[in-house]
């Protein structure tokens, strides 16, 4: 393709700077939105993948089917018990199985009361998760089984705005008229359930909240050499038989870490597709704007087209000039949109990290995102210019030169 086509197209756009900039608005708004949303989505997906890697592919989660967070059941037929836990421990391939309690309840500090997530666990449960961020203590220490009157608190208790007066290590929080000494603070997670939560010893919590026999969630570690998917199926089958439930009508869920990740990824992909689809409307508007601009350009340059044809320009020459011109509008608009999108993504990451203190929003810009955005914007521009370019290429020289 002759480089003079690009030169002519570029000079034509430069002569109409204001119109060119106005035409590109729809393109770079759409591209900026798409790049920012996808980059943040990639970052969030990467963070979730990292958390599941820390959790380990050898973990299985069992909990009752509820509407709401684990531990919100009031129906005794749905509640998992210590008997269910024993059944699970006896399944072939289960190396370790531990349960925790999860409830919401009032916690008081210096005459201020807040409703938070209260979690009861033991050392064996904490050991199952190793370096998972949700249990990583950044100040003080983690709970031990002998800590009957001590608690570990979520990040917002000490570093957030949950309380009017900040909680410090060594302070006491009142739960059900009993005082519990704060001995540790968990790393910030970026969500109120975790960051406002309170961890205590499991048996102490059961006595405190009058919980007779309940396991809000059971976590299983699969023994080396066993397939987590097969162990998961065995657990489901034996638990179903023990609870005398029919297949497909279970009152509990059994999911491997991989299945949980897949479920999250599927839901997140749908949400992200919807958001990107909304942003793509701007690209459609931008494409229509380019088409309108190119039609106007064809009319304004009718005599110029006639002159070019009179001195030997072919239909294909005229077609390529207008196609390149519309493509450049899309490409330049896309380049500006990519730059704006990167800025928006990094701004959101900065606000999330420094203002909100959460690592969830991390903007990632893989090369294929940048190249794809630029290619797509050029394609949108080129496609939008096809009809005007065809119209220009089919003009007869004599008619074009007589046009007023």
Tell me the β-bridge partners of 150: 181
Instruction: Verify that 307 and 344 share a domain, yes or no.
Output: yes
Instruction: Verify that 170 and 282 share a domain, yes or no.
Output: no
Write out pLDDT tens, residues 2-52: 566 566 666 666 667 777 777 777 777 888 888 888 888 777 777 777 666
Which span out of 54-58, 200-204, 383-387 was modeled with the highest average pLDDT? Answer: 200-204
Q: What is the pLDDT of residue 2?
A: 59
Kindly state the percentage of the chain with pLDDT values over 90. 15
Tell me how far apart the alpha carbons of residues 219 and 45 are, in angstroms, rounded to a whole number.
23
Instruction: Tell which of 203, 223, 250 closes a domain.
Output: 250
Name which of 234, 269, 273 is nearest 254 in CA terms.
234
Residue 239 domain boundaries: 66-250
Tell me, yes or no, whether 60 lies in a domain.
no
Instruction: Verify that 134 and 167 share a domain, yes or no.
Output: yes
Tell me, yes or no, whether 240 lies in a domain.
yes
Tell me, yes or no, whether 275 lies in a domain.
yes
- Of the pLDDT bands very low, low, confident and very high (cuts 50, 70, 90), residue 402 is low
Write out pLDDT tens, residues 111-145: 899 999 999 988 888 777 655 666 788 898 988 88
Write out pLDDT tens, residues 225-278: 888 889 999 999 999 999 888 888 888 888 887 777 777 777 777 777 777 777
Instruction: Verify that 211 and 285 share a domain, yes or no.
Output: no
Instruction: Verify that 72 and 103 share a domain, yes or no.
Output: yes
Instruction: Tell which of 225, 250, 275 closes a domain.
Output: 250
- Of the pLDDT bands very low, low, confident and very high (cuts 50, 70, 90), residue 55 is low
Tell me the β-bridge partners of 192: none
Instruction: Verify that 142 and 203 share a domain, yes or no.
Output: yes
401 touches 303 (CB < 8 A): yes
Instruction: Verify that 230 and 345 share a domain, yes or no.
Output: no
Q: What is the mean pLDDT of residues 340-346?
A: 88
Tell me, yes or no, whether 257 lies in a domain.
no
Kindly state the percentage of the chain with pLDDT values over 70. 82
How many Cα atoms are found within 13 Å in the side-chain-facing hemisphere of 257? 19
Task: Say whether pLDDT at 183 is over 90.
Answer: yes
Instruction: Verify that 189 and 287 share a domain, yes or no.
Output: no
Q: Among all chains, which residue has been given the structure tokens 């089917």?
A: 65
Mean pLDDT of the chain: 80
Tell me how far apart the alpha carbons of residues 404 and 400 are, in angstroms, rounded to a whole number.
9
Tell me how far apart the alpha carbons of residues 354 and 344 are, in angstroms, rounded to a whole number.
15
Instruction: Verify that 88 and 197 share a domain, yes or no.
Output: yes
Name which of 202, 217, 213, 170 is nearest 83 in CA terms.
213
Q: What is the pLDDT of residue 312?
A: 75
pTM (two decimals): 0.65
Instruction: Verify that 42 and 72 share a domain, yes or no.
Output: no
Instruction: Tell which of 250, 274, 295 closes a domain.
Output: 250
Instruction: Verify that 40 and 70 share a domain, yes or no.
Output: no
Write out pLDDT tens, residues 347-391: 888 887 776 666 667 788 888 888 888 888 888 888 877 777 777
Instruction: Verify that 268 and 242 share a domain, yes or no.
Output: no
Q: What is the pLDDT of residue 78?
A: 75
10 Å CB burial of residue 327 (0-12, 13-18, 19+) is buried
Between the CA of residue 380 and those of 12, 22, 31, 38, 286, what are the distances in Å?
Answer: 19, 16, 11, 19, 8
Tell me, yes or no, whether 61 lies in a domain.
no
Tell me how far apart the alpha carbons of residues 338 and 34 are, in angstroms, rounded to a whole number.
9
Query: Domain total for the chain?
Result: 2
């Amino acid at each position: 393709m002759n480089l003079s086509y690009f030169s002519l197209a570029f000079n034509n756009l430069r002569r109409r700077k204001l119109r060119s900039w106005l035409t590109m608005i729809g393109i770079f708004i759409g591209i900026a939105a798409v790049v920012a949303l996808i980059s943040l989505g990639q970052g969030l997906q990467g963070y979730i993948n990292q958390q599941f890697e820390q959790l380990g592919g050898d973990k299985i989660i069992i909990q009752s089917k509820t509407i709401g967070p684990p531990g919100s059941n009031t129906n005794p037929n749905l509640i998992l018990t210590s008997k269910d836990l024993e059944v699970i421990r006896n399944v072939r391939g289960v190396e370790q199985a531990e349960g925790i309690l999860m409830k919401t309840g009032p916690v008081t500090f210096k005459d201020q009361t807040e409703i938070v997530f209260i979690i009861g666990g033991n050392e064996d449960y904490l050991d199952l998760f190793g370096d998972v961020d949700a249990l990583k203590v950044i100040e003080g220490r983690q709970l031990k089984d002998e800590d009957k009157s001590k608690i570990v608190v979520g990040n917002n208790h000490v570093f957030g705005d949950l309380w009017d007066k900040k909680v410090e290590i060594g302070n006491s929080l009142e739960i059900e008229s009993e005082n519990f000494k704060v001995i540790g603070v968990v790393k910030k997670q970026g969500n109120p359930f975790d960051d406002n939560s309170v961890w205590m010893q499991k048996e102490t919590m059961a006595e405190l909240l009058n919980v007779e026999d309940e396991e809000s969630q059971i976590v299983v570690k699969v023994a080396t050499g066993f397939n987590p998917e097969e162990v998961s199926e065995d657990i489901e089958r034996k638990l179903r038989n023990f609870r005398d439930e029919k297949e497909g009508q279970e009152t509990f869920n059994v999911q491997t870490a991989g299945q949980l990740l897949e479920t999250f990824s599927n839901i997140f992909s749908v949400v992200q597709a919807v958001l990107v689809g909304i942003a793509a409307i701007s690209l459609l508007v931008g494409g229509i704007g380019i088409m309108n601009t190119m039609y106007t350009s064809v009319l304004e340059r009718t005599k110029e087209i006639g002159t070019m044809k009179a001195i030997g320009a072919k239909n294909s020459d005229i077609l390529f000039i207008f196609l390149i011109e519309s493509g450049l509008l899309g490409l330049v608009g896309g380049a500006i949109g990519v730059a704006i999108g990167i800025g928006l993504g990094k701004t959101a990451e900065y606000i999330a990290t420094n203002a909100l203190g959460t690592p969830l929003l991390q903007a990632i810009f893989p090369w294929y995102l940048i190249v794809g955005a630029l290619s797509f914007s050029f394609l949108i521009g080129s496609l939008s210019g096809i009809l005007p370019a065809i119209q220009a290429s089919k003009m007869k020289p004599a008619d074009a030169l007589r046009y007023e």
